[in-house]
Amino acid sequence: MLLIDRRPTGAGRAALRAFRGLPASARGHAAVRWWSAPLPRVAQALPATGRVLEIGCGHGLFSAFAALSGARSVVGVDIDADKIALAQRVAANLPAADLTFRVAESGAVPTGPWDAIVVVDVLYLLPAAAQRSLLADAVAQLAPDGVLLVKEMSPTPRWKARWNRWQETMAVSVLGITERATARDDTASGEPFTFVDPSTMAGWLGDAGLWTAQQRLDRRRLHPHHLLLARASDPAIP
């Protein structure tokens, strides 16, 4: 039952199929991402149409899914030129989708206005101050009723947070699968990540004058997935 619920259908299957011809490592990564992250739940919170920016899009799975599951024009950016080159091949396999990918400098938010900006499992790779500044820059590029979506990990329950931290240590520090913008020396623990509590991020966005809403996305999942929405008017989660 658990696995059947996550089996890709429709747009999910098409997005995964668009990885055909890419190296097995990228195809495997996309498949693992699909099964381990609640990407459809995040996409559900996007407006069905309009201009969407994904910051830290990696190989482009979520962007591709977002473009295919609505009438959206999606731009994905990432600091990792190798991943963007692969994402561009994914877009080339989906000629009917309005989907583009490009390399961006760390912390740079392409000029809007964007109807939605989405950041999925990226902020923890930055120091807390850089996370706050990236979110503020993103807010500045939103359309008047645009929505900011942040999918990160909750610090609770602690066993899930510990499992996630171990896995990220493997991906970032041991296997080098995930790129970080700069060498990190700003955490007291010496760890390469900064998992800011999503409630703290909601406080930052509230201070910037936005309404926020939060939702746990980790039911029957090993990782403590968590979604934060922010916009200038009340952002009820669909």
Binding-site ranges for ligand SAM (CB under 6 A): 33, 37, 55-58, 61-62, 78-80, 83, 104, 106-107, 120-122, 125-126, 178-181
Report the residue number, 57 or 210, with the smaller CB distance to ligand SAM: 57
- Angle at alpha carbon of residue 198, lines to 195 and 200, rounded to 5°: 95
Please give the C-alpha separations between residue 76 and each of 108, 155, 163, in angstroms, as whole numbers. Answer: 12, 27, 28
Report the residue number, 150 or 202, with the smaller CB distance to ligand SAM: 150
Residue type (1 letter), 95 = P
Report the residue number, 191 or 211, with the smaller CB distance to ligand SAM: 191
Phi, psi of 215 (to 5 degrees): -150, 130
73-103 in b/e form (b: 16+ CB < 10 A) is: bbbbbbbbeebbebbbbbbebbeebebbbeb
Report the residue number, 181 or 213, with the smaller CB distance to ligand SAM: 181
Report the distance separating Cα 175 and Cα 169, nearest Å: 9
Position with the least CB separation from ligand SAM: 58
Quote the least distance from Cβ 171 to ligand SAM, whole Å. Answer: 7
Report the distance separating Cα 136 and Cα 143, nearest Å: 14
Residue type (1 letter), 58 = G
Quote the least distance from Cβ 234 to ligand SAM, whole Å. Answer: 26
DSSP state of 126: S
Report the residue number, 27 or 232, with the smaller CB distance to ligand SAM: 27
Report the residue number, 118 or 142, with the smaller CB distance to ligand SAM: 118
Phi, psi of 218 (to 5 degrees): -115, 15
Structure tokens at 12: 């999910």
